[in-house]
Chains A and B, each alone.
Chain A
Amino acid sequence: MLSAGPTPHTPLSKWSFTIRALNGKSASWNWDEFSALPRTAIDTDIHCVTKWSKFATAWEGVTIDTLLAEAARHGVTPSSYTMAVSDGGYTTNVPLADLTGGKGMVAFNYAGAPLDPEHGGPARLLVPHLYFWKSAKWVRELRFMENDAPGFWESVGYHIYGDPWREQRYSGDP
């Protein structure tokens, strides 16, 4: 399990999620606004870099497609790369193409119940086709970047992209 420090316990009253564009524009939702957005449920397999996989896990959340469509109304224009920023300051980089087209969501329910803090709640990024550290726990912000850049995990030795099918665990893996 990849967690580098104490589990943050952000109360829902202080929680918000923000998408920040390169042009300085941003869109933010507080918990009530976020949970009122159209929801999507998915069943998917997940793959942890520490060698385990879990099959047919059930998640519910808001897809990045939905969030981007909402954010566009605030003038937020996407760029090719993103940095997911979490409580505690942890970051991980994900190309936009790996989040759109139904591939990524901000998930807040797991197996029919609210996601608990130990597993990344109140909300975590979910990018199931990449190694699970990319599914940033306690995510609070998606920041657009012009070029790909390593986040926290990638700067301490994990792979810049993290494709489980190519076993891209550590930096330098082909």
Chain B
Amino acid sequence: MRLEWKTATVEKVVEETSRTRSLILSVPRWPGHRAGQHVDVRLTADDGYQAERSYSIASAPEDEKLALTVEKLEDGEVSSYLCGELRVGDVFEVRGPIGGYFVWNAKDGGPLLLIAGGSGIVPLMAMLRHRAATRASVPTRLLYSSRRWDDVIYRDELVTLSKNDRALQVTHTITREVPRGWKGYHRRVDRAMLSETAWPAGERPRVYVCGPTPFVESVANELVALGHDASLVKTERFGPTGS
């Protein structure tokens, strides 16, 4: 089956942080998706110039509307439009869903270990929203690394989700300036932090790691060093370059 380009209309824009916003979209004939998948977005300029980028889906499969969360990148020709001029009612094209590997379904069970660096939270949030929407009680831990407290995407929603759910534990670490009185982690994710917050390897958690390439490399290497089965550690690396 071919993935056709479909027209997405922006129904709502949610400013998440100073550098990220969520776009709530209406996409006629959207075939549905699994938590963790992404879409390709295509913009066409008046002169016919086209640019395509991939974005993770933030919404749960159960949500009525498709949601993407987009981070503004320096010199990002697509993200600067999506995070800038774009208004409610604007249209662009999407193609998807894409990716059949970095996905989690509540029926897959757990325990579930989610580790995010920056906007790498987006596909993991789709998993948490799916988990909440299906009222799954899968024991879940999220370790989420952000530069600053104000850069934490979905901050309030994560508080609400974990407050109402004893099986969900959310741990933040901040790598740059911390708020006054901060008692949480204040460094990059390292082996000691993983041993304190992650499920032990013996529990054989299903692990999803998403973030910039160096973050994912480092976290995945530490998990393997801690004894996690590499075949249970699924990774999604963001980054403009690489191979």
Residues on A lying within 8 angstroms of B by beta carbon are: 1, 3-9, 46, 48, 50-52, 54, 88-89, 118-120, 132, 135, 152, 155-157, 170-174
Contacts and interface: CB of A to CB of B under 8 A. Distances in A.
A3 B235 contact: yes
19 contacts: A1-B242, A3-B235, A4-B102, A5-B220, A5-B234, A6-B220, A6-B233, A7-B221, A48-B242, A48-B243, A51-B52, A51-B53, A54-B241, A88-B230, A118-B217, A155-B100, A157-B99, A170-B3, A173-B3
Contacts of A170: 3, 95, 98
B182 to A, nearest CB: 30
A119 to B, nearest CB: 5
A79 B3 CA distance: 32
Q: Is the interface of B mostly helix, strand, loop or mixed?
A: mixed
Given A46-B243, A132-B243, A172-B3, A4 B53 contact: no
B237 interface: yes
B239 interface: yes
A94 B1 CA distance: 21
Nearest to B4: A172
Among A5, A51, A54, A132, the one with the most B-chain Cβ atoms within 10 Å of its Cβ is A5
A157 B234 contact: no
Nearest to B240: A52
Given A6-B223, A50-B54, 10 more contacts: A3-B237, A5-B230, A6-B235, A46-B243, A48-B243, A54-B243, A89-B231, A119-B242, A135-B243, A171-B1
A5 B243 contact: no
Contacts of A46: 243
Interface of B: 1-3, 52-54, 95, 98-102, 213, 217, 220-221, 223-224, 230-231, 233-235, 237, 239-243
Contacts of A5: 220, 230-231, 233-235
A52 to B, nearest CB: 7
Nearest to B99: A157
A88 B231 contact: yes
Given A89-B231, A170-B3, A119 B54 contact: no
A110 to B, nearest CB: 8
Contacts of B239: 1
A60 B127 CA distance: 42
B1 to A, nearest CB: 5
Contact of B221 (A3, A4, A6): A6
Closest 10 CB pairs of A and B: A156-B100, A1-B242, A6-B220, A172-B2, A156-B101, A1-B237, A157-B100, A6-B224, A6-B230, A119-B243
Contacts of B217: 7, 118
Contacts of B224: 6
A111 to B, nearest CB: 11
B154 to A, nearest CB: 24
Given A52-B240, A170-B3, A4 B234 contact: yes
Contacts of B220: 5-7
A91 to B, nearest CB: 13
A8 B243 contact: no
A54 B242 CA distance: 9
